[in-house]
Amino acid sequence: MWPDNWPSVTAFLELGTQIKPIVVSGGLIWTGYHYADVDVHLRRKGYPDAVYDDLRVMEAAAIAALNERRN
C-alpha cells in the first residue's frame, strides 16, 4: 500500500456501511453511496478532496463485486 492511498482506503472502510441496497424479489441490488452522507463524512473528518474521486472508483468495484454474488 502506498502511503498516499491510506486516506482513501481509510475513508472507504469508514463508509463501508453506507453502500445502500434496494430490496427486489430474490434479494438485494447494491446501488452505491448516498453522496450527501459521504460529503458530510469526508468534510467532518477533514479528508482532502482527492479522496472523493478515489472513493468513486472503489465504490464501483465494490458494487460490482456485491451484485455479482446475486448471479
In tens, the pLDDT along 24-40 reads: 988 899 999 999 999 99
Residue 2, pLDDT > 80, answer yes
> Please, are residues 52 and 42 in contact by the beta-carbon 8 Å criterion?
yes
- Burial-class residue 26 by CB neighbours within 10 Å (0-12, 13-18, 19+): exposed
What cell does 23 get? 430490496
Domain count, the chain: 1
pTM to 2 decimal places: 0.83
Q: Range of 62's domain?
A: 3-68
